[in-house]
Structure 1
Amino acid sequence: MTIAITGGDGYLGWPTALRIADRTDERVVLVDNLARREWVESVGSTSGLPIASIDERLAAARDVHGLRNLSFVEGDLTDKDFVETLLSVHEPETIVHTAAQPSAPYSQIDGERANFTQHNNMQATRNLLWGLEEHDLTDTHFVETTTTGVYGAPEFPIPEGGAVMENQDGRDEVPFPAMAGSWYHLTKSHDAANMRLAHKQFDIPISDVRTAITYGTETEETAVDRRLSTRFDFDYYFGVVAHRFCAQAVAGYPMTVYGRGEQRKPFIALEDAVEGLARLALSDPDARPDDHTVYNQVTRAISIVEMAETIADVAGEFDLDVDVEHFENPRDEDETHKMEIEYDRYETLIDGQSTTFEEGVRSILGRLLEHEDTIVAHEDRFLPGVLAED
């Protein structure tokens, strides 16, 4: 048996691969083209935590955890020939597909980056799905991290998957309409539709894991050795809001709440996100559903301003004096939207365990203070501005 993890060098893919490899003797193949490192550099930023090369990471995994079942393949999933070779050589029984250009702000910079994001993300997914069909691997469990951003910000509770349509003639569950708010989020809406079609046409078992805003610096496996650290982005383009706020706190920079900041967003700790993906990847092939299943990978919703205030409170434990300031919102969004989202299926998957937001922030601040100089040197990247290559 082989489990393939695409985006295996990434923020979520790397710690997920470690956990899966630690829980099985089967081969775990990491796949990546290492482009995320280049994208972040192109906007003038860097990871807030030093990240080792993939070779150093694999060596550390062997030294620290005794993991000799991890291997790495470098390649571009938009290249159909590469995907053909990958599938024919390794014949994975499970694919955890975390590879993507993951930034909404990056996809909004200009038409070139919007086009690149859409081609990169959707072509990779299509190549994998069609590759499974064409290589007679349709029993392979295909797990993809899409995003809760496919739902947009509707004024009703968001279901875990489809939406119920009803009229005088009857009712049925239909795919949730694509209400994405960026060129990136729309790629995941298309991926969700393509996965549904691949299940219908090819009978591939699909787990569509709609990942919330993920925060945190460590998991149980990465915390043991600094060479195992996953990346931590904090700039405007690639840093999620919780990470950017924590970095601002460390740099002594006001936390930049855009507009009123009362809109609620779905969040999940890195530890909880990794746990769910590992459980799906390692599910018994004879026991898992052979269906198309949607999971809302969420453990709580929190408003932006409440999040900033919580980070400011926890920062006080580290003697950091942090201000929360409101700035004009560069995004077109409802600054008071009170999101409600169902996540019963995902909560059951991880047995209800959940890292609290305060615990996650405390861990983030502790790690970032070790690299305060790096954060301060790049504090001009907290806000949108001129890119390094422009």
Structure 2
Amino acid sequence: MTILLTGGDGYLGWPTALRIASRTDDRVVLVDNFARREWVENVGSRSATPVAPISERLDAAEEVLGITNLSFVEGDLADKEFTDELLGIHEPEVIVHAAAQPSAPYSQINGERANYTQHNNMQATRNLLWGLEEQDLTDTHFIETTTTGVYGAPEFPIPEGGATMENQGEADAVPFPAMAGSWYHLTKSHDAANMRLAHQQFDIPISDVRTSIIYGAGTDETQADDRLATRFDFDYYFGVVAHRFAAQAVAGYPMTVYGKGEQRKPFGSLEDAVEGLARLALMDPAERESGHTVYNQVTRPISIVEVAETIADVAGEFGYDVAVEHFENPRDEDETHEMEIENDRYLDLIDEQRVTFEEGMRETIGTISEYEEIITAHEDRFLPGVLED
């Protein structure tokens, strides 16, 4: 069997590839165009943890972890000719699609970047889905990491997938409406709709994994050797809020809470996210849910204030004296939103939460404290700024 993992050079893709490859003798083929490295450089930042070239990563996987079934292909999935050739050569039985421009703030900078984000993300997914249909590979299990951001911030509990709509005394199950709040998040809303359509028209088995805010500097596999480290972005554009706060703590920079910070956001650890994707990728077809399945990849919602205060407490254990300060919110959002989100299907998939938020922040600060000089040198990237084209 061949498993194709897109975005294999990325923060989530790389540790997922290591987890999958360590549990199977099947071939695991990674594909990436290294665009994430370019985007972060473009905003004047870099990963706190040094990211080795892919050749060194693969060598270390074999030398340190004994993984011999990983291979890598460089290419752009937005190019249909490349995607068709990739699928035709490798004929994967499973695709884990984790490749995307993942930053909402980056997609909001200007029209050029909004257009790029939407073209890049949606074109890649369409190319993969249509490629499976056109090359008679419709039995391939297609797993994509979308985002819980497709739900927006409704006042009612968010279901794990669809919703029930009632009108004039009649009711029916319908896809959850696209309520995304950024040009990036809307790409994942469109991907979700396109995957549903591909299942209806082509009968491709689909797992739509709606990823929350993922935290953590690594997994057991990536921490086994410096060359295996996954990236850790901490800037305003590519650093998720927990990572940005952790980096601010290490740099001695006040943690910047936008607005009241009482709004709750969905969170999950890198370890839990990797485990869920690995289990889906390696699941026996007879055991997985058939058809089209949505997983809310969340362990629990956490308020931004709680995130900041937890990180401040944990940073204190490492000798950092951290202040929490509130700034005017540059985003249009409800600063007191009580996020309620169903996640039973996802928790059943991973059996139980492996890493709590506090544990994840302790591991994170312990790791990035070794790279304090890198973070401090780029502390001007914690806040939004004007970028040169």
Question: How does the TM-score come out when normalised to structure 1?
Answer: 0.99
Residue in 1 that maps onto 2:170 = 170
Shift of 1:111: 0.2
Q: Is 1:282 aligned to residue 282 of structure 2? A: yes
Mapping 1:350-365, distance limit 5 Å: 350-365=350-365
SS in 1 for 2:326: strand
CA distance in 1, matches of 2:289, 2:139: 11
SS in 2 for 1:36: helix
Residue in 2 that maps onto 1:19 = 19
C-alpha contact (below 8 Å) 1:215/1:267 kept by paired residues? yes
SS in 1 for 2:193: helix
Letter in 2 for 1:371: Y
Residue in 1 that maps onto 2:302 = 302
CA distance in 1, matches of 2:280, 2:152: 26
Q: Is 1:375 aligned to residue 364 of structure 2? A: no
Residue in 1 that maps onto 2:59 = 59
Shift of 1:172: 1.4
Letter in 2 for 1:350: I
SS in 2 for 1:371: helix
CA distance in 1, matches of 2:168, 2:112: 46
What CA deviation, in whole Å up to 9, does each residue of 1:178-205 have, x standing for no partner? 0000000000000000000000000000
Mapping 1:1-390, distance limit 5 Å: 1-387=1-387, 389-390=388-389
Identify which range, 179-188 or 281-290, moves more after superposition: 281-290
Shift of 1:173: 1.0
Q: Percent same amino acid at aligned positions?
A: 80
Letter in 2 for 1:65: L
C-alpha contact (below 8 Å) 1:204/1:290 kept by paired residues? no
What CA deviation, in whole Å up to 9, does each residue of 1:130-189 have, x standing for no partner? 000000000000000000000000000000000111234422110000000000000000
CA distance in 1, matches of 2:104, 2:115: 13
- Unmatched 5+ stretches in structure 2: none
SS in 1 for 2:207: strand
C-alpha contact (below 8 Å) 1:242/1:307 kept by paired residues? yes
What CA deviation, in whole Å up to 9, does each residue of 1:265-323 have, x standing for no partner? 00000000000000000001233233100000000100001110010011110110000
What CA deviation, in whole Å up to 9, does each residue of 1:210-244 have, x standing for no partner? 00000101111111111100000000000000000
CA distance in 2, matches of 1:246, 1:353: 21
Letter in 2 for 1:63: E
CA distance in 2, matches of 1:83, 1:317: 48
CA distance in 1, matches of 2:289, 2:125: 21
CA distance in 2, matches of 1:17, 1:170: 46
SS in 2 for 1:244: helix
SS in 2 for 1:95: strand
SS in 2 for 1:209: strand
SS in 2 for 1:370: helix
C-alpha contact (below 8 Å) 1:309/1:324 kept by paired residues? yes
Letter in 1 for 2:25: D
CA distance in 2, matches of 1:66, 1:244: 34
- Unmatched 5+ stretches in structure 1: none
SS in 1 for 2:125: helix
CA distance in 1, matches of 2:375, 2:219: 21
Shift of 1:356: 0.7
Shift of 1:48: 0.7
Shift of 1:64: 0.6
Instruction: Give the aligned length.
Output: 389
Letter in 1 for 2:174: V
CA distance in 1, matches of 2:134, 2:234: 40
Letter in 1 for 2:324: V
CA distance in 1, matches of 2:253, 2:217: 20
CA distance in 1, matches of 2:272, 2:347: 10
Letter in 2 for 1:293: T
CA distance in 1, matches of 2:368, 2:42: 22
CA distance in 1, matches of 2:152, 2:240: 17
SS in 2 for 1:180: coil
CA distance in 1, matches of 2:263, 2:158: 15
What CA deviation, in whole Å up to 9, does each residue of 1:109-130 have, x standing for no partner? 0000000000000000000000
CA distance in 1, matches of 2:194, 2:174: 14
CA distance in 1, matches of 2:265, 2:153: 9
CA distance in 1, matches of 2:356, 2:145: 22
C-alpha contact (below 8 Å) 1:62/1:68 kept by paired residues? yes
Question: How does the TM-score come out when normalised to structure 2?
Answer: 0.99
CA distance in 2, matches of 1:365, 1:317: 10
C-alpha contact (below 8 Å) 1:299/1:354 kept by paired residues? no
CA distance in 2, matches of 1:169, 1:380: 56
